[in-house]
Amino acid sequence: MYNTDIPNREELPSTAKLIRSTIIAAIVALVLLATIVMPAEYALDPTGAGRLLGLTEMGEIKEQLAQEASADKAAQTVAVQSSTGQKAPEAAEPVAAKPAQETASASAPEAEPAPEEPVSEPAPVEPQWQDEVRVVLSPGEGTEFKLTMEEGAVARFSWISQGGAINYDTHGDGGGQSISYEKGRGVPEDEGKLVAAFTGNHGWFFRNRNDNDITLVLRTGGDYGKLKKML
């Protein structure tokens, strides 16, 4: 049986070549870690390449899912502890307000009628909502909607979850920046104003944690470019 010939010393790679190959491999690994692995897995984007490739948003969603799972576990623990029969303290009875005393005086002279002011025409009323979307979410399913906004712009919103409460995360991103405005668990509806902290995309991530389908209705209006469905 023929065995492979042992290579000569001249054919083996030198120590310098091995060191150079090791350094190149380490540099490539660090580049991949900073541009792909960290944005996609941990929503960390030190170079900005992850957001350009759409990987940072993937990592943000993963982080949100992990936080929701941890919060659900904590809520279940609290529910078990509360089932031991501890009675909540009774609320104090409200104190009735005292009636206001009359201050009119019979001897005071009658005031002269004020001159009538000209009646101005009412300002035109802006339409309450510019966009409305409806989406059905199955158990465990999530969706995301965002508004394109300039820094300082104000958008009005109103959303309702029909068929069960919902988890949400109001946040924004753009230009290498990101922000979380508000989070909630088991909320049936919400409305208010969203003020953009910087120019970019600002909106909501919703997830159905019920055992049945729910219908999410989102309405928006105000100072923004367009409403986009991100997920």
pLDDT tens string 28-56: 888 888 888 887 777 777 878 777 777 77
Q: Hey, what are 100's tokens?
A: 């206001």
**136 and 67 part of one domain:** no
**Which amino acid type is present at position 220?**
T
**135 and 202 part of one domain:** yes
> Of 117-121, 133-137, 186-190, 222-226, which gets the smallest average pLDDT?
117-121
Check pLDDT > 70 for residue 189.
Answer: yes
- By the 8 A CB rule, do 166 and 208 touch? yes
In a domain, 119, yes or no: no
Residues 168 and 208: their CA atoms lie apart, in Å, by 9
- Please count the structural domains in the chain: 2
Higher pLDDT, 68 or 116: 68
Of 58, 30, 34, 61, the closest CA to residue 46 belongs to 34
In a domain, 4, yes or no: no
126-146 pLDDT per residue, tens: 568 999 999 999 999 999 999
Q: Render the burial of 74-111: b for 16+ CB within 10 Å, e for the rest.
A: eeeeeeeeeeeeeeeeeeeeeeeeeeeeeeeeeeeeee
Of 190, 186, 194, 202, the closest CA to residue 144 belongs to 202
Check pLDDT > 60 for residue 192.
Answer: yes
Domain that residue 28 falls in: 11-79
**221 and 135 part of one domain:** yes
